């Protein structure tokens, strides 16, 4: 029997809210004992989705049971539509019905949807319960499970209802990819590439060189995830509540969220796919402003295409949303400040910056040009 490589740990240094991200293989098998040691006497509420209940839950369930931990399973339908007020109420009611107390622990066992939903349920139930993130998708492992953003969607836009609530621990088991669809892995890769595009061209170059190994599950995959988590940690530590530099993590997200809203948070467009298109659009728009060369946008697009991601509006199946609809969605984005559009633009790969007071007319004209080209 082969021995798994030693796990890697990334520390999020936030004072009394500090926690570790543990990255490695076969972590679910030892998780019950880890939780028993870390939270003596606690009971656990596990929130997951219908897909994971069938595929990965048995591993975690066995671990919790072997450690003698009292646990309750709460299952919601798989998909972005579960980030809703109705599902949030279901989760809160299930926690209360199980008589879980404020000193007990919620486990978010799933991808970004479950992490956001379960984290928000933990944040508001009994005025705040501790929770543990166990991300089961690449997107969740390198992005949404780290940093304390929790929440649900509204018909007015994505992630408009939520709270900052840091997890007590993040466990990123790399073996979950055995049951993760290729499309979901690719969607997570967009968030990984984002860290290079923000302020680390060397990392983006490294990703270009090692993409095949990352996609195939070679040693570069674990290294890439650890480097991405360390990048996210750096921004979270510097700006926990996104009042400044952490906003750079939204590269591609203003366009991406608008597209997700327009497509009804459906399987037509996964979150990471929207971000991939959004990052290409951000580079293209920056080029129209003379901030970077058009070739840099081409480089970004080609790399994301190699990873199996959509990179243009025309790659979205079904009817395209109108420019007016996209602009309406953009105006609802959380990054709007007193009516002014704030975008993350770039002066080149690894040179992103926060641009304020962007003209809505300029964005609309750019989108019309893109659609007609």
Instruction: Let me know if 267 is exposed, middle or buried by CB neighbors in 10 A (0-12, 13-18, 19+).
Output: middle
Mode of pairing for the β-strands spanning 149-154 and 105-110: unpaired
Tokens of 241: 């509540």
Query: How far is it, in rounded angstroms, from Cα 180 to Cα 163?
Result: 28
Residue 149, strand partner residues? 164
Supply the residues annotated as catalytic. Answer: 127, 149, 191, 232, 242, 246, 250, 253, 257, 271
Cα 39 → chain centroid: 26
DSSP states of 175-193: GGGGGS-HHHHHHHHHHHH
- Which contacts qualify for 94-98: CB closer than 8 Å, 24 or more apart? 94/45, 95/45, 95/121, 95/125, 95/129, 96/125, 98/43, 98/45, 98/72
The CB-side HSE value for 11 (13 A sphere, CA atoms) comes to 5
Instruction: Give kind and range of the element (H or E) at residue 303.
Output: helix 294-306
| C-beta of residue 88 within 8 angstroms of C-beta of residue 120 | yes
Contacts of 57 (CB under 8 A, 6+ apart): 46, 48, 73, 109
Query: How far is it, in rounded angstroms, from Cα 160 to Cα 152?
Result: 7
Q: Which residue carries 């798994």 as its tokens?
A: 4
Tokens of 5: 């490589």
Quote the DSSP letter at residue 141: I
């Amino acid at each position: 029997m082969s021995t798994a490589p030693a796990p890697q740990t990334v520390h999020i240094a936030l004072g009394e809210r500090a926690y570790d991200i543990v990255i490695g293989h076969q972590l679910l098998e030892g998780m019950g004992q880890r939780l028993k040691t870390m939270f003596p006497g606690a009971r656990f509420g596990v929130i997951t989705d219908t897909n994971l209940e069938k595929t990965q839950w048995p591993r975690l369930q066995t671990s919790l049971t072997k450690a003698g931990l009292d646990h309750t399973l709460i299952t919601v339908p798989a998909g972005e539509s579960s980030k809703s007020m109705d599902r949030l109420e279901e989760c809160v009611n299930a926690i209360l019905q199980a008589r879980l107390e404020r000193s007990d622990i919620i486990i978010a066992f799933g991808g970004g949807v479950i992490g956001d939903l379960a984290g928000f349920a933990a944040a508001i139930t009994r005025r705040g319960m501790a929770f543990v993130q166990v991300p089961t998708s690449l997107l969740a492992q390198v992005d949404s499970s780290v940093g304390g953003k929790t929440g649900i969607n509204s018909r007015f836009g994505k992630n408009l209802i939520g709270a900052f609530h840091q997890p007590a621990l993040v466990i990123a088991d790399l073996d979950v990819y055995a049951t993760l669809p290729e499309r979901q892995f690719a969607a997570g890769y967009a968030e990984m590439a984002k860290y290079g595009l923000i302020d680390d061209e060397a990392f983006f170059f490294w990703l270009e060189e090692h993409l095949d190994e990352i996609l195939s599950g070679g040693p570069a995959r674990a290294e890439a995830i650890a480097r991405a988590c360390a990048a996210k940690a750096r921004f979270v530590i510097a700006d926990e509540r996104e009042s400044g530099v952490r906003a750079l993590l939204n590269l591609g997200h203003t366009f991406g969220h608008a597209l997700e809203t327009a497509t009804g948070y459906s399987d037509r467009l996964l979150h990471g796919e929207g971000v991939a298109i959004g990052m290409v659009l951000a580079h293209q728009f920056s080029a129209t402003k003379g901030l970077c060369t058009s070739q840099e946008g081409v480089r970004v697009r080609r790399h994301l295409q190699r990873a199996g991601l959509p990179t243009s509006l025309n790659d979205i199946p079904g009817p395209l949303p109108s420019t007016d609809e996209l602009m309406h969605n953009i105006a609802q984005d959380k990054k709007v400040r007193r009516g002014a559009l704030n975008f993350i633009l770039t002066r080149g790969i690894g040179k992103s910056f926060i641009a304020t007071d962007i003209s809505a007319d300029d964005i609309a004209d750019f989108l019309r040009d893109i659609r007609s080209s």
